[in-house]
């Protein structure tokens, strides 16, 4: 789950927990207005759109629908955000939709997570929830300090 420009503490979960089930604890941490929510395909659920819409009606929900997704029956009269995404994908293609919707910003977050896993490791070592939260907080602080020392400059060559 990716929430732009908000400093959140995501709940730590095991691999058998559905990402979508964690949307409410994440939204509980937001005190101001939310501009956008960007998530991967695991968040393509009616409940996600509804929950975010109830709490932040002006927020853009940017989640890629699966290739088998279909428009709702009311798409012609009152399209939902998801319907608009599907229409944009049909008109501009999936890559065009990603650029137009801002979904490509998600790649920056994925790169940061990848760096964290390469530097710190794939798994938490602590056994209790409180210690896992502490271990995660320390890992994030270490990574942020390392990034302050020097960020790599990436240049597209092809």
pLDDT band at 26 (very low <50, low <70, confident <90, very high): confident
Residue 91 pLDDT > 60: yes
Residue 7 pLDDT > 60: no
Q: Cβ contacts of residue 43 below 8 Å, gap of 6+? A: 1, 19, 20, 23, 37, 63
pLDDT band at 2 (very low <50, low <70, confident <90, very high): very low
Higher pLDDT, 119 or 59: 59
- At residue 152, φ and ψ (nearest 5 deg) are -70, 145
- At residue 74, φ and ψ (nearest 5 deg) are -95, 15
Structure-token pair, residue 100: 């137009």
Residue 72 pLDDT > 60: yes
Element (H, E) at 36: strand 36-38
Report the chain's C-alpha Rg in angstroms.
18
> Cα–Cα distance between 93 and 67 in angstroms, integer?
11
User: What is the percent of the chain where pLDDT is above 70?
Assistant: 91
Residue 51 pLDDT > 50: yes
Task: Report the relative pairing of strands 2-3 and 36-38 from DSSP bridges.
Answer: antiparallel
The pTM (predicted TM-score) of the whole model is: 0.70
Nearest by Cα to 107 from 98, 119, 94:
98
What's the sign of the alpha-carbon dihedral 40, 62, 106, 31?
Answer: negative
pLDDT band at 156 (very low <50, low <70, confident <90, very high): confident
Do 97 and 103 meet the contact criterion of CB atoms below 8 Å apart? yes
């Amino acid at each position: 789950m990716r929430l732009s420009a908000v400093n959140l503490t995501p709940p730590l979960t095991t691999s058998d927990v559905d990402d979508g089930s964690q949307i409410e604890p994440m939204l509980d941490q937001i005190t101001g207005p939310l501009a956008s929510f960007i998530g991967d395909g695991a968040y393509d659920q009616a409940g996600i759109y509804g929950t975010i819409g109830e709490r932040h009606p002006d927020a853009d929900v940017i989640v890629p629908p699966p290739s088998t997704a279909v428009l709702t029956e009311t798409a012609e009269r009152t399209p939902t955000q998801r319907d608009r995404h599907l229409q944009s994908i049909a008109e501009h293609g999936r890559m065009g939709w990603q650029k137009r919707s801002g979904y490509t910003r998600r790649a920056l977050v994925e790169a940061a997570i990848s760096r964290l896993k390469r530097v710190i490791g794939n798994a938490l070592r602590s056994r209790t929830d409180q210690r896992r939260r502490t271990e995660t907080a320390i890992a994030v602080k270490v990574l942020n300090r390392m990034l302050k020392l020097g960020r790599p400059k990436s240049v597209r060559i092809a």
